[in-house]
Amino acid sequence: MHDYREAAERVLIRDLATDRVKRATFDRLTAHLIRLVDKVELKMLNRRAVEQQ
């Protein structure tokens, strides 16, 4: 899924950040993005399940 690739890129950026504040910021952004991606994926799966009924 495209969004997971973006999340992985954010993890890489976070891990490469040398500044402590920037690293913490990217860590929070990454965690938030991953939660959003998970929610979208669940919605898509639920919608597909409803449509197949």
Residues 31 and 25: their CA atoms lie apart, in Å, by 10
For residue 43, is pLDDT > 90? yes
Distances (CA, A) of 42 to 7, 29, 35, 37, 53: 16, 20, 11, 9, 17
> Is residue 27 within 8 Å of residue 14, measured between CB atoms?
yes
Q: What is the pLDDT of residues 6-26, one digit of tens each?
A: 777 877 887 888 888 988 888
Chain mean position to CA 38: 7
Predicted confidence band of residue 47 (pLDDT cuts 50, 70, 90)? very high
Chain mean position to CA 48: 21
Task: Please state, rounded to an integer, the average pLDDT across all residues of the chain.
Answer: 83
Q: CB neighbours of 37 closer than 8 A, spacing ≥ 6? A: 1, 3, 4, 7
